[in-house]
């Protein structure tokens, strides 16, 4: 079994729930983190426990190991807290593996991210302040640090490397942010006094670097290095790809730019990784709430009040915060708008193979995992109607894309009910 779990909208769809479900169906599952980094927040309730996963697999309650592939950006500084919290919650932590080629996020990436978003003020892009895009830019400039470089090393060595990067790249990046020459909006933010003060001390402190290096090396001991990514994947009995963010936030989505993520949130990474390993997908599962949410700035089509959708509970995973504000709500648009992102993702990376991929296997099962039905009376909320899942599945434009639908909610009295269109 090789399944890809992908959020269909702007994130917060219930991907953690889907990963937990699939990992619970089979033994010895490996969950692959392939995009973004610590900014993911996937909530799973298991028995009497609840946990928000960031870098650990959402299948961890089921004993699924986690693998960071080379397109993922681990934040080892933040990993330790999550590792200890989950061990306190569950009593164990499954194994963590990391490709030696995976690029690491550093403390200065996070600080540069926070600096830029703070200077934008009311024009913030909605970044969660985790440094993913800043780490991507740093690597593009030739100053990357991979997990393989620090594995088995010392805190002193990492400290020296990060100080070198700060001197040769970091301070220049600060000047770019302030002048506007390095910003996607091209906007200058004035002198250093115009917002730089809050971060000046940390971005010049050697203690910040030293403390970060020590914490990163302590937490690196939780992670096992993988030299041959493809061979490691081939050795796995069952694989679930856990995607961060949503399909509409893909870095290539020009409609919603610049309010998008720096990573590939659809099939791109997954298909390329599997193709290199000679493996193919058995199923790609797109996850959606019965309505749409967005946490952060940017266009949200069909935005409406939470009360207009249904009895929506307060989202404890997405409470208001200084970086993304409050979670926002919308209905789905038309059926065509509902399916278009999925059509485009499947067509690009599996059916036409015209985006640099080499997918040679049979087409996978395409499924839809619907969540939060209990909040909308068991209906999928569109702009002009509310459809029952059974009616929704019978629509020709839905049945022609999705082979099955997973319904996860207490309305149906069980953990997950499956509707089939062509099986």
Write the pLDDT tens digit of every residue in 223-235. Answer: 999 999 999 999 9
Element (H, E) at 31: strand 29-33
CA distances 393 to 316, 380, 420, 421, Å, are 31, 11, 8, 7
Distance CA 322, CA 165 (A): 28
Q: Which residues of 243-278 are buried (b: 16+ CB within 10 A; e: fewer)?
A: bbbbbbbbbebeebeebbbbbbbbbbbbbbbbbebe
Distance CA 368, CA 366 (A): 7
146-200, pLDDT tens digit by residue?
999 999 999 999 999 999 999 999 989 988 887 776 555 555 555 444 455 667 7
Confidence category of residue 313, pLDDT binned at 50, 70, 90: confident
CA distances 88 to 45, 49, 81, 93, Å, are 15, 11, 11, 9
Percentage of the chain surpassing pLDDT 70?
85
Look at residue 341 in the predicted model and tell me its pLDDT.
95
Distance CA 335, CA 235 (A): 40
Residue 348 CA to its chain's centroid (Å):
20
The better pLDDT of the pair 183, 349 is held by: 349
> How many residues are listed for the chain in this entry?
423
Distance CA 68, CA 37 (A): 9
Is the pLDDT score of 260 beyond 60? yes
Average pLDDT over residues 356-382: 83
Q: Indicate the pTM of the whole model.
A: 0.90
Confidence category of residue 413, pLDDT binned at 50, 70, 90: very low
For residue 341, the number of C-alpha atoms closer than 13 Å in the C-beta half-sphere is 28
Cα angle vertex 340, ends 306, 302, to 5°? Answer: 25
Instruction: Tell me how crowded residue 138 is: count the other CB atoms within 10 A of its CB.
Output: 23
Listed range (52-61, 316-325, 342-351, 353-362) with the worst mean pLDDT: 353-362
CA dihedral sign, ordered 181, 184, 185, 189: negative
> Do the Cβ atoms of 267 and 31 come closer than 8 Å?
no
Distance CA 33, CA 120 (A): 30
By CB neighbour count within 10 A (0-12 exposed, 13-18 middle, 19+ buried), where does 392 fall? buried
Look at residue 414 in the predicted model and tell me its pLDDT.
46
Average pLDDT over residues 56-85: 97
Distance CA 416, CA 285 (A): 14
Look at residue 31 in the predicted model and tell me its pLDDT.
98
Distance CA 260, CA 239 (A): 27
Look at residue 185 in the predicted model and tell me its pLDDT.
54
Tell me which range, 180-184, 238-242, 291-295, 303-307, is most confidently predicted by mean pLDDT.
238-242
3-state secondary structure of 383: coil
> Do the Cβ atoms of 58 and 30 come closer than 8 Å?
no
Distance CA 344, CA 307 (A): 32
Pick the closest to residue 49 from 9, 86, 92 (CA basis): 86
The set of residues, in sequence order, having a beta carbon less than 8 Å from that of 82 and lying 6+ positions away, is 53, 54, 55, 56
Distance CA 153, CA 159 (A): 11
The better pLDDT of the pair 315, 90 is held by: 90
Give, as one character, the DSSP assignment of residue 270.
H
**Mean pLDDT taken over the chain:** 88
Confidence category of residue 420, pLDDT binned at 50, 70, 90: low
Give, as one character, the DSSP assignment of residue 300.
-
3-state secondary structure of 390: helix
Pick the closest to residue 17 from 327, 352, 317 (CA basis): 317
Distance CA 51, CA 251 (A): 28
> Do the Cβ atoms of 333 and 137 come closer than 8 Å?
no
Listed range (3-7, 9-13, 255-259) with the worst mean pLDDT: 255-259
């Amino acid at each position: 079994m090789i399944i890809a779990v992908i959020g269909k909208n702007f994130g917060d769809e219930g991907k953690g729930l889907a990963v937990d479900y699939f990992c619970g169906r089979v033994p010895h599952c490996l969950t692959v983190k392939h995009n973004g980094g610590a900014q993911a927040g996937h909530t799973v309730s298991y028995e009497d426990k609840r946990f928000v996963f960031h870098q650990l697999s959402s299948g961890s309650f089921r004993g699924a190991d986690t693998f960071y592939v080379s397109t993922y950006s681990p934040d080892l500084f933040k990993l330790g807290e999550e590792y200890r919290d989950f061990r306190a919650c569950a009593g164990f932590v499954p194994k963590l593996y990391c490709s030696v080629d995976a690029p690491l996020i550093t403390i200065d990436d996070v600080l540069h991210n926070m600096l830029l978003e703070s200077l934008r003020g009311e024009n913030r892009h909605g970044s969660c302040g985790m440094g993913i895009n800043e780490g991507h830019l740093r690597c593009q400039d030739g100053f990357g640090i991979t997990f393989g470089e620090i594995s088995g090393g010392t805190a002193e060595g990492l400290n020296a490397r990060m100080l070198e990067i700060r001197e040769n790249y970091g301070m220049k990046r600060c000047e770019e942010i302030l002048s506007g020459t390095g910003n996607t909006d091209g906007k200058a933010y004035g002198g250093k006094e115009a917002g730089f003060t809050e971060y000046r001390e940390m971005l010049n402190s050697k203690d910040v670097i030293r403390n970060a290096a020590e914490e990163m090396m302590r937490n690196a001991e939780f992670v096992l290095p993988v030299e041959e990514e493809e061979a490691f994947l081939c050795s796995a009995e069952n694989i679930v790809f856990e995607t961060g963010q949503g399909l509409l936030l893909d870095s290539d989505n020009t409609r919603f730019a610049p309010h998008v993520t720096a990573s590939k949130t659809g099939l791109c990474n997954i298909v390329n990784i599997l193709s290199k390993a000679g493996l193919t997908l058995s199923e790609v599962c797109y996850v959606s709430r019965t309505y749409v949410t967005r946490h952060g700035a940017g266009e949200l089509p069909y935005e409406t009040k939470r009360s207009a959708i249904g009895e929506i509970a307060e989202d404890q995973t997405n409470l208001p915060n200084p970086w993304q504000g409050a979670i926002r709500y919308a209905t789905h648009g038309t059926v065509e708008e509902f399916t278009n992102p999925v059509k485009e993702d499947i067509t690009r990376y599996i059916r036409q193979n015209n985006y640099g991929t080499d997918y040679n296997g049979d087409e996978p099962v395409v499924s839809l995992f619907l969540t939060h039905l209990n909040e909308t009376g068991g209906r999928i909320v569109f702009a002009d109607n509310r459809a029952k899942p059974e009616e929704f599945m019978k629509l020709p434009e839905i049945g022609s894309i999705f082979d099955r639908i997973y319904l996860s909610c207490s309305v149906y009295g069980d953990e997950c009910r499956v509707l089939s269109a062509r099986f």
